[in-house]
Structure formats: C-alpha cells, structure tokens
Amino acid sequence: GLYEHQGFDAKGVPYYRQVSENLQSYMFVTDTGGLWIVGPVLGDQSNYAWIGTKVTNSPTEGVDWEVVLDGGGFQPQPAVIAQSTDGDAYPAVCQKAPTPAPTITPAPSSFAC
C-alpha cells in the first residue's frame, strides 16, 4: 500500500500512515528502536500485521520484512521492499514495490512499504 510521511516521533524517527487502502494502518518504529511495525494503531506494539528489522530511520533501507502468522510466529517475505516515490531518505510517500504475493494463506489485508 501507499504510505504518507506524517511526522517524527520523540526520538526523531519518521512514521507513516497508509493512504491507499480503506483500512487504517501505520508504519512506525518500536519504542526500543529495533523494529519497524505495520499495524492499525499508531504506537500499538501488541497488534500488528508486519514487522521489519530497523537498520536506519528510513523504511526503504535494509529492512527484512516478515508477516505475522495467524497461529503465531513470523513468515519472512524477502520479496517485499519499501520504495520511495520521490527519492528522499525520508520519503513523503512510500509504497511496496511490485512483488509476488505473500507466502501465507490467507493473504494479509495490507502490505508494509
């Protein structure tokens, strides 16, 4: 999905809101700073659909995304990447590059970017 940059958290890390789907979703960094999370509530670290290892303050750099499985655990999604639409390190918008469908069934309702 397409995400717009909304601002920066207290640690100066950008966060994003999904704008391309009917479902509300946010992409943000955990309080510990180690993971990007995609979930329905900004800042909620207990309810999320995707996680990605944080390398820098940009979700476009070096993130290994994983989808959360219904029964618990995570499924790596090596084909999912974030891609800036304007080339900035902190993109105003960011969207998932065209990739194969996730390797789980059923597919999650939203993709991280």
pTM of the model: 0.74
Number of Cβ atoms within 10 Å of the Cβ of 67: 21
Summarised one tens digit per residue, pLDDT across range 49-78 is 899 988 888 888 878 889 999 888 999 988
Q: How far apart are CA 31 and CA 43, in angstroms?
A: 8
Summarised one tens digit per residue, pLDDT across range 18-30 is 887 677 889 999 9
Tokens describing residue 33: 């700073």
103 alpha-carbon distance from chain centroid: 17
Closest CA to 51 of 33, 60, 63: 63
CA of 63: how far to CAs of 22, 70, 71, 105, 106, in Å?
Answer: 25, 22, 24, 23, 23
